[in-house]
Amino acid sequence: MNKLFSRPAGVVFASTIGTAIGITSTIVAILGLVLVPIADEFNLPRSSISLVFFILAICSALIYPVIGHLADKYGARIVILIGHLLFVLALFAVSKARNIGEFYAAFVFIGFSGSVLGPILFTKIIAGWFDRYRGFFLGIISGVGYGMGSTLMPLFAVFVLSNHDWRTTYQAIAVLVFVVGLPALWLFLRNPPEPLPKKTYMRVKGVSGVPGLTLAEAIKTRAFWMVLMAIAVCSGCMLAVFTHIIPILMDRGVSVVEATSVLSTFALFTVFGQIGTGFLLDQFRRPNLIAPFFFIPVFGLPLLMLSSSTPLLLLSGALMGLGMGTEFGLLPFCLSRYFGLKAYGTISGLVYGVIALTNGFFPVLMDVGFDLTGSYQSAVNLVIGIMVLGTLLIAALPSFARLSRRYMEPEAGPENG
Each residue of 294-337: pLDDT tens digit? 889 999 999 998 888 889 999 999 999 998 888 888 888 888 88
| pLDDT at residue 65 in the model | 85
Higher-pLDDT residue of 178, 220: 178
Question: For the residues 391-413, what does the mean pLDDT come to?
Answer: 66
Confidence of residue 174 (pLDDT cuts 50, 70, 90): very high
Higher-pLDDT residue of 249, 414: 249
pLDDT digits (tens, 9 = 90+) for 78-114: 999 999 999 999 999 988 888 888 889 999 999 999 8
Distance (Å, rounded) from C-alpha 397 to C-alpha 171?
Answer: 44
The answer, yes or no, to whether residue 205 has pLDDT greater than 50, is: no
Q: Which of 3-7, 79-83, 169-173, 398-402 has the lowest mean pLDDT?
A: 3-7
Confidence of residue 1 (pLDDT cuts 50, 70, 90): very low
pLDDT digits (tens, 9 = 90+) for 62-83: 888 888 888 888 888 999 999 9
| pLDDT at residue 87 in the model | 95
- Domains within the chain, CATH numbers bracketed: 7-410 (1.20.1250.20)
Question: For the residues 30-49, what does the mean pLDDT come to?
Answer: 78
Three-state secondary structure readout of the chain = CHHHHCHHHHHHHHHHHHHHCCHHHHHHHHHHHHHHHHHHHHCCCHHHHHHHHHHHHHHHHHHHHHHHHHHHHHCHHHHHHHHHHHHHHHHHHHHCCCCHHHHHHHHHHHHHHHHHHCHHHHHHHHHHHCCCCHHHHHHHHHHHHHHHHHHHHHHHHHHHHCCCCHHHHHHHHHHHHHHHHHHHHHHHCCCCCCCCCHHHCEEECCCCCCECCCHHHHCCCHHHHHHHHHHHHHHHHHHHHHHHHHHHHHHCCCCHHHHHHHHHHHHHHHHHHHHHHHHHHHHHCCHHHHHHHHHCHHHHHHHHHHCCCHHHHHHHHHHHHHHHHHHHHHHHHHHHHHHCCCCHHHHHHHHHHHHHHHHHHHHHHHHHHHHHHCCCHHHHHHHHHHHHHHHHHHHCCCCHHHHHHHHEEECCCCCCC
Higher-pLDDT residue of 1, 112: 112
Confidence of residue 211 (pLDDT cuts 50, 70, 90): low
Q: Is the peptide bond before 195 cis (omega within 30 degrees of 0)?
A: yes
| pLDDT at residue 194 in the model | 64
What does pLDDT average to over the chain? 82
Distance (Å, rounded) from C-alpha 355 to C-alpha 74?
Answer: 25
Distance (Å, rounded) from C-alpha 383 to C-alpha 219?
Answer: 27
| pLDDT at residue 358 in the model | 83
Question: For the residues 133-154, what does the mean pLDDT come to?
Answer: 80
46, 371 contact by CB (below 8 A): yes
- Classify the phi-psi angles of 94: left when phi > 0, otherwise alpha if psi is within -120 to 50, otherwise beta: alpha
Question: For the residues 223-248, what does the mean pLDDT come to?
Answer: 88
Confidence of residue 43 (pLDDT cuts 50, 70, 90): confident
Question: For the residues 48-70, what does the mean pLDDT come to?
Answer: 84
The answer, yes or no, to whether residue 360 has pLDDT greater than 80, is: no
The answer, yes or no, to whether residue 405 has pLDDT greater than 70, is: no
Confidence of residue 6 (pLDDT cuts 50, 70, 90): low
**Sequence-separated (6 or more) residues with CB below 8 Å from residue 292:** 391
Nearest to 94 by CA among 112, 115, 80, 108: 108
Question: For the residues 185-202, what does the mean pLDDT come to?
Answer: 68
| pLDDT at residue 164 in the model | 85
| pLDDT at residue 5 in the model | 46
Nearest to 366 by CA among 219, 241, 278, 275: 241
Question: For the residues 258-273, what does the mean pLDDT come to?
Answer: 85
